Structure 1
Amino acid sequence: MQNAIIITQKALDATPKPRLDSVLSVCLQIPRAQALQLIKHQQILLNDTLCTKASAQVALGDVLGVLTPHSQPQTRDYDSLEAITELKPEFLDIEILHQDSEFLVINKPPNIVIHEAPSLKEPTLVDWIKLTQSPIRNLCGDLRYGIVHRLDRQTSGALAIAKTPQAHNALSAQLKSRQMGRYYLALIANPLKKATIVECYLGRHPKNRLKMTKLTRHDARAHTGLRYSKSVFAPLLDCTHSRQSLQLVAVKLFTGRTHQIRAHLESLGRHIIGDTLYGYKGEFGEYRVLLHAYLMYVSHPKGSSILSQEHCLLSRFVKGVNPSCSSLRDHTASKSHCLDSLDSTTSLVAGDSDSIDSPLVFKAPLFADMIAFLERYFDKDKLNEVLSPRYILDCFA
């Protein structure tokens, strides 16, 4: 059991009502939804008595206690990293881009599912976390294990994982306010002529429930879950092969909806190579969806003062994130599977190093399948230029 928490006047003043769930959220610095999970799973004592009523009134001087979580039922049992890599070798390709006591950022390979499901018969990223990141506990009774955002099965790239409830709370808040986000790379058929903004409402496709699609406000009467979405697509490089009409684009999201990039491109009559679900019918249908979360920006849950000196500074700010960047320092670390422009360090800091709110910008190197495709159909020298993090950030600045 966690140390006793004595309710103070400060904690009561920070809540609109002195309810157990609200006060618990303030005292533990976690979202109210997580506080509700703790109460639901019978982990909260109020004055040494188990309390399962979220609306229970809390008074000055009351004592709260948090019990150790009950063991969770497992949908499968993998006892070693070797066990999951034997079933799915892709787990060997997971690279940790950053790790400290609060959170880690990984480069997720394609063809790995994030969360467990009863119908899924293969290991997931959650299984990898259980086996390799022992300090990460099951946060507040759910089975998310610190994951605050997702990538589709076939999508690769940067993914942040919280190690503590406080970090989970901080990262979730940043994600909601868009202080945390990612820049994607995608290979598309039928090039865009210029940078393009897509703003629309997304909802489930009326005829294919696996897809999301662009809908109008009028459709809201017939569809639940209609949500506003916005993306910006910036062309980076056109294919040099005379027989192909391909383009490498960078994508900045202003909202984070399911399949947002794929659905927005479909609304423009474009499709990502390999994305047969959303209508790609070209000759590269055997490829996975060639979409990669290349750059991630996020502020450290405890501020930039704890960061090591090995991080670099970007010369230009990420628009809407931090306008205080001032300098650039580069250093390289050899990665045999990457293009020349990807040989630089995988973690960068954008912003003034003295500012506690300076966001980290992590670079997730491309995987071999996407690199091979780029090298076959695009000019390598130009690729080295456009795949520079600085070049991509400038596209959106």
Structure 2
Amino acid sequence: MEKMEHIILESENNERIDKIISTLNAEWSRSQVQQWIKDGHVKVNGKQIKANYKCTTNDQIVIDIPEPEILDVQAEEMNLDIYYEDGDVLVVNKPKGMVVHPAPGHLTGTLVNGLMAHCKDLSGINGVLRPGIVHRIDKDTSGLLMVAKNDMAHEGLVNQLVDKSVTRKYFAIVHGNVPHDYGTIDAPIGRDPNDRQRMTVVDNGKQAVTHFRVLERFNQYTFIECELETGRTHQIRVHMKYIGFPLVGDPKYGPRKTLSIGGQALHAGILGFIHPRTKQYIEFEAPLPEEFEKLLIELKR
């Protein structure tokens, strides 16, 4: 079992212990931390405490990080929209509403479950829960994803993401009339200190760059194309909100009064990369989903 120690800073005085611990690692959720406290994995000054314990400056926190449980992810037959496949890579068009990979408490119905039934070979680099997954898109975002079928392909695709050489273009409808035809948003993204379920622009965040261009303007809405240079969690949703043009239908970052389309109007429409084996550049385009098209037609009216 791995141990982690933390001394409470003056700025953390009188904060709840579960809140502080959940900010020490972006992978730890507050509910997970509360379970650790309940199970006795967290001690303050050598004593067990409750999740609502208020910390005092110089308190010594010791966390025994439990080993992650081995989860059994089952293959499930699904009608996947495969755009390309060979022995190394696969490109799939994910529908809106589908989660990319399983998580504890949510082990079925994900894209990974379907991929495991579709092909017997997926890269093992990301472990049991994320076999073959090189990058992901949000549950309510539709569009193209590349999947690695072996470790060589996985490393090759990840290196291209790191080098920012993968083409990833998204189509979105935003609130407001974007005045500039083109723009670049370069603003670091990290966890929102007030709400760990959200991301936001913060000084100490990871570098995030989004390029956009306007495709069509409507009265109170704009249809845009966004190209990702980096791939941070919720990047386009956070960046467009940051410049005052949040995505239509976005329950997390959009305004309360928005158009209802069951989640954000965001589609990963164009994906291009250098094939890790042939070294040839290949690019794919997935048309807008039907409900997205319908919304555009309504806005044009």
The TM-score with structure 2 as length reference comes to 0.72
Q: Are 1:155 and 2:129 counterparts?
A: no
* Selected match of 1:236 from 215, 218, 236: 215
SS of structure 2 residue aligned to 1:127:
helix
Where does structure 1 lack aligned partners over 5 or more consecutive residues?
1-71, 82-90, 221-225, 304-355, 380-397
Contact 1:262 1:272 in 2 (8 A): yes
Corresponding residue number in structure 2 for 1:289: 264
Q: Are 1:118 and 2:104 counterparts?
A: yes
Larger relative helix fraction: 1
Corresponding residue number in structure 2 for 1:378: 300
SS of structure 2 residue aligned to 1:255:
coil
* 1:267–1:95 distance in 2 versus 1, CA, 3 Å: same
Q: What is the one-letter code of the residue matched to 2:84?
A: H
* Selected match of 2:92 from 106, 109, 113: 106
Contact 2:248 2:254 in 1 (8 A): no
* Selected match of 2:222 from 247, 253, 270: 247
Q: Are 1:173 and 2:159 counterparts?
A: yes
* Selected match of 1:264 from 231, 239, 242: 239
Q: What is the one-letter code of the residue matched to 1:95?
A: D
Contact 1:273 1:284 in 2 (8 A): yes
Q: Distance in 2 between matches of 1:103 and 1:122?
A: 23
* 1:290–1:228 distance in 2 versus 1, CA, 3 Å: same
Q: Distance in 2 between matches of 1:269 and 1:140?
A: 36
- Please list the CA deviations of residues 145-192 of structure 1 after superposition, one character each: whole Å capped at 9, or x if unmatched: 111000011011010001111111111111111111310000111021
Contact 2:124 2:150 in 1 (8 A): no
SS of structure 1 residue aligned to 2:91:
strand
SS of structure 2 residue aligned to 1:172:
helix
* 1:74–1:215 distance in 2 versus 1, CA, 3 Å: closer
Where does structure 2 lack aligned partners over 5 or more consecutive residues?
1-68
Contact 2:216 2:222 in 1 (8 A): yes
Q: Distance in 1 between matches of 2:101 and 2:147?
A: 13
* Selected match of 1:144 from 126, 130, 142: 130
Corresponding residue number in structure 2 for 1:369: 291
Corresponding residue number in structure 2 for 1:208: 195
* 1:170–1:267 distance in 2 versus 1, CA, 3 Å: same
Q: Distance in 2 between matches of 1:377 and 1:213?
A: 29
Q: What is the one-letter code of the residue matched to 1:103?
A: V
Q: What is the one-letter code of the residue matched to 2:221?
A: L
- Percent of paired sites with the same residue: 30
Contact 1:107 1:365 in 2 (8 A): no
SS of structure 1 residue aligned to 2:257:
coil
Q: Distance in 1 between matches of 2:293 and 2:108?
A: 27
Contact 1:231 1:254 in 2 (8 A): yes
Contact 1:114 1:150 in 2 (8 A): yes
Q: What is the one-letter code of the residue matched to 2:287?
A: P
Q: What is the one-letter code of the residue matched to 2:93?
A: N
Contact 2:123 2:148 in 1 (8 A): no
SS of structure 2 residue aligned to 1:170:
helix
Q: Are 1:183 and 2:183 counterparts?
A: no
The TM-score with structure 1 as length reference comes to 0.55
Q: Distance in 2 between matches of 1:206 and 1:139?
A: 31
Contact 1:75 1:116 in 2 (8 A): no
Q: Distance in 2 between matches of 1:108 and 1:122?
A: 15
Q: Distance in 2 between matches of 1:283 and 1:230?
A: 26
Contact 1:103 1:160 in 2 (8 A): yes
Task: Please give the residue correspondences for 1:1-397 in structure 2 after superposition, counting only pairs within 5 Å.
Answer: 73-75=70-72, 77=74, 80-81=76-77, 91-92=78-79, 94-120=80-106, 122-136=108-122, 138-139=124-125, 141-194=127-180, 195-216=182-203, 220=204, 226-239=205-218, 244-303=219-278, 356=279, 358-378=280-300
Moved more, 129-138 or 188-197: 129-138
By how many angstroms is 1:295 displaced? 0.4
By how many angstroms is 1:282 displaced? 2.8
By how many angstroms is 1:267 displaced? 0.8
Larger relative strand fraction: 2
Contact 1:162 1:168 in 2 (8 A): yes
By how many angstroms is 1:119 displaced? 2.2
By how many angstroms is 1:376 displaced? 2.0
- Please list the CA deviations of residues 129-154 of structure 1 after superposition, one character each: whole Å capped at 9, or x if unmatched: 11111233644754321110000110
Q: Distance in 1 between matches of 2:258 and 2:163?
A: 40
* 1:161–1:77 distance in 2 versus 1, CA, 3 Å: closer
Q: Distance in 2 between matches of 1:75 and 1:187?
A: 38
Which of 1 and 2 has greater Rg? 1
Moved more, 145-154 or 204-213: 204-213
Contact 1:273 1:287 in 2 (8 A): no
Q: What is the one-letter code of the residue matched to 2:97?
A: N
Contact 1:276 1:285 in 2 (8 A): no
* 1:141–1:114 distance in 2 versus 1, CA, 3 Å: closer
